[in-house]
Structure 1
Amino acid sequence: MAISGLRGSEEVNWYASTPQDPEKKSEKEEQVDFKTILEHPVVKKLSAQERDVVQKILDKVPAQNCERKQYYLGKLKLLLDTPYEDPTKAVSGGMSFEEKNLDGMRRETLRVAAMLSKVPADEREVFQQREEDLWRSVKKSDWEIRKGCGAHYVVYRKDPNNLMVRVAVCVHADPKIQEAIFGFEDAIEKYLSIPGFNVDLKFVKPPVEDSQRELVFNVNADPAQWASSCNWIGSYETVAHEMVHLLGLDDEYDKIEAHADNKHLTRHRRLEIFLQQMDRIPPLDCGIMSGKSRPLPREVREMVGLPIDDDTRQKAGVQISNPKAGQGK
């Protein structure tokens, strides 16, 4: 799940935080040791299950005194120091969480409309005709059905240089919000499409016909809740990111960096995320699942079910286990 919201037309993407090199530490950071964590007043108030997670985190922290040890202990202390605040009950600038999201959706609708209007009408018609010709060029028998998260979608992958994905999504929401999300369709398609890969997104209104249920994803658009793969609220870029989750791709951003001091997540959830992130190898390249703009070729291959080149992840593993590798020193 990507935690995001809108502040006007400016998107606040927690998943877009730039991963920090654990080997780099500010001189102003305080030194933290195991005793500091174990005797932290918050730890004493945690449930037995939460204290167990804290202990598992400490078990994974290097015993030797090194930069990585201080990085993890410092971030864990930051997590414990940061209390939880229910975002749905917070009021900022005289607006509730829901009101801010609604205001953000209105602003985003205007932004998308302005962006699309910059393309001359004749160019839009030519582009649309090319798209339609492209989709019609694929034989019906060449389409394949793939299982996503909650439904199925259709892919064309016979030509690795001309990959295609067709996705149908039913949005359950207030009619005005539903209309705003539907207005993102063209922007989402263009955002996800890169040379050699095209996306066809179709929004449908409920109810979904029984014959189509397996080929239609169902999502909400509730401004009182955080954006997620099942709740499409935010900018069109955020919605595009969440749509890719439905196609089976996981987040790749550094969740310790993004959420250690995220007061809008409970400590329980932040502790779980912290522990999970310690076992993950962040990629060297950043694509849409890292919150860095558009899909990478390897992400496209994963969407359509083609083999993924794992050289990048193998190199990342070497670099993480030996941060100075490849620096020529």
Structure 2
Amino acid sequence: VLSTLSNLVDTIPPTENSKSRFGNPAFRDFYDKVQKDFDQLFQGIIPTDALKEVSVYFTESFGNRRRIDYGTGHEANFMAWLLCLEKIGVLTIKDDQAVVLRIFVSYISLMRKLQFEYWLEPAGSHGVWGLDDYHFLPFLFGASQLFDHKYIKPKSIHDHEVVDEFSKDYMYLACIKFINTVKTTASLRWHSPMLDDISACRVWSKVNQGMIKMYKAEVLGKLPIMQHFMFGSLIHFEGGIEQATTMHDDCGHVHNKTAVVGDGNKEDVFALGQEYPDCCGIPVPSAIAAAGLKNRDKMTARPIPFD
């Protein structure tokens, strides 16, 4: 299916969009086509009664149609789609390794293609204080893949020869290579200080544990991300806290203010909506688009002058 969608991108070229350096409207045509053809793509794979619910996670995993952006929340939708496939019996625990090393890797490859082709805006990017403008999970899975590697260590990301040689086999190194190709500053210290700090860890197990904690806090635990997430019969919401005072914004969403639960201890205070007003996206220039803007007539990706 992902291969089919990759071919679909080739049939929907980006439109002339000289007034903006990111967010090409042709992405909406791709999105609509995926949404329309979902039942046909998964006929005989997913039970008919589950198609409607599962389709939401799949289509949302490619980005937001209106804003033409993509971020870790959309990436989380792809994992939710895979979880749904496991819940309905399409995938089993025996498939886990292939789910990451074949399906998820193919998904990342498709997303990179969409990012380059349609100049998707980073959704809620933390800029240099994030792992990547678009993705998180390749770093988490990549650290797991290198968990007990005898020779490649976290500090190896600074060795360009190691990165070039083994990026084809290891997700973490592939991410580092990709970042280095779109940002021109010579050192990770300047354009990716968080990755540079993480490279100081001695073992991958510590990196992996930190990535899991960070994913829970920075993705699954963020209201601006999870308020857009769908909960249904396959993935249902449990628990939660009582809503505090709310206010409406021009975007039409409700942004919660601080809520206190439990006995009011510091760890029980949740600053809901602390990311406000970023929940609906802010104009974050696409690094890929900025590179492409200077090279519209060239097929190869060029680094941007990050500094």
| Greater per-residue helix proportion | 2
TM-score by length of 2: 0.27
| Greater per-residue strand proportion | 1
TM-score by length of 1: 0.26
Q: Which has the higher contact order (CA 8 A, sep 6+)?
A: 1
**Larger Cα-atom Rg:** 1
